[in-house]
Amino acid sequence: MKILILGDFHGKFPTKLKRIAKSKDIDSIICLGDYGGGKNLIKIIFKYFKQKWWKVVGKEKAKKYILEDYNAGKKIFRELSKLNKPVYCIFGNWDFNSLLHKERFGNLKLKNYHEIIKQMKNLKYWRRGLREFNGLRIIIFDKMVTAGDYLKKGVLSDKERKKMIRKNKKEIKSLMQYGRRDIDLFLSHYPPYGFFDIVKFKGKNPMNGKHVGFRGFTDFIKKYHPKLFICGHMHEYQGIKNLGNSTIVATGAAQSGRAVILDVSKDKKIRINLIK
């Protein structure tokens, strides 16, 4: 069985990856989030990283940029649906779902992405949880989690930091309920703290040089040793690292033509192939 794993489309699905996805070798496809994207919105959010960007640019421009972003994601779902393969979708930090801040929707009446996925042929939305998939025992822990260095003094205001500490505790508690030592595959949008998680953004960004991985994932891996942990989020990275008996894989960004193929044997041995 061969599984193609993609993440971080941000509105782009390169022809190279579509060709691989359509090939007879690929049995199923898993997507790790961040489907939509718009250059205007991405630049603005990074430029006004710690400000209320939608107030800075004004109501009309904010509406325009949000719709560009949202519709780019809908386009990716349509393209995935046309592959005529089973596609399993989880969410990242950039996606439109009910748990994101209200400003992400700009007070517009938009359908959540999971509702759109339900209407698409061949697509299935995977929520957080533990499940069996073609003989593999897997954990999905998607959406937004707390960036590790947000918990350090000086990165955020004291008020924001305290809020993040509370949020982080809830996330870790939620994660640990899935703890067991027989996990074949752990899927997340975010990387673990200390692995493929240092920001190397080309331009001014207060998070440059800091870790944005989730400490809870690192603790989970050390304690429960899942065979394989696969993540996206950080466009800067693609690669394979080890932590104890676990292997951590960063897919690279699909928008740049990067992906991962897992070749799973009948005895559940997994070979990793990076698409560069």
Is the model's pLDDT at 247 over the cut of 90? Answer: yes
pLDDT digits (tens, 9 = 90+) for 125-154: 999 999 999 999 999 999 889 999 999 998
The domains of the chain, with CATH numbers, are: 2-275 (3.60.21.10)
Q: Provide the pLDDT for residue 99.
A: 62
pLDDT grade for 182, boundaries at 50, 70 and 90: very high
pLDDT digits (tens, 9 = 90+) for 50-102: 677 888 888 888 888 889 999 999 999 999 999 999 999 999 999 998 766 66
Sheet containing 136-140, strands listed edge to edge, beginning at the edge strand earlier in sequence: 129-133, 136-140, 185-187, 228-231, 246-250, 239-243
Across the range 1-15, mean pLDDT stands at 97
pLDDT grade for 26, boundaries at 50, 70 and 90: very high
What average pLDDT is seen over the chain? 92
Q: Provide the pLDDT for residue 259.
A: 98
Q: Provide the pLDDT for residue 241.
A: 98
Per the CB < 8 A criterion, the answer to whether 232 and 187 are in contact is no
Q: Provide the pLDDT for residue 43.
A: 79
Sheet containing 270-275, strands listed edge to edge, beginning at the edge strand earlier in sequence: 123-125, 87-89, 28-31, 2-6, 259-264, 270-275
| DSSP assignment string, 84-145 | -S-EEE---TTS--TTS-GGGTTT-----HHHHHHTSTTEEEPPSEEEEETTEEEEE--S--
3-state secondary structure of 10: coil
3-state secondary structure of 186: strand
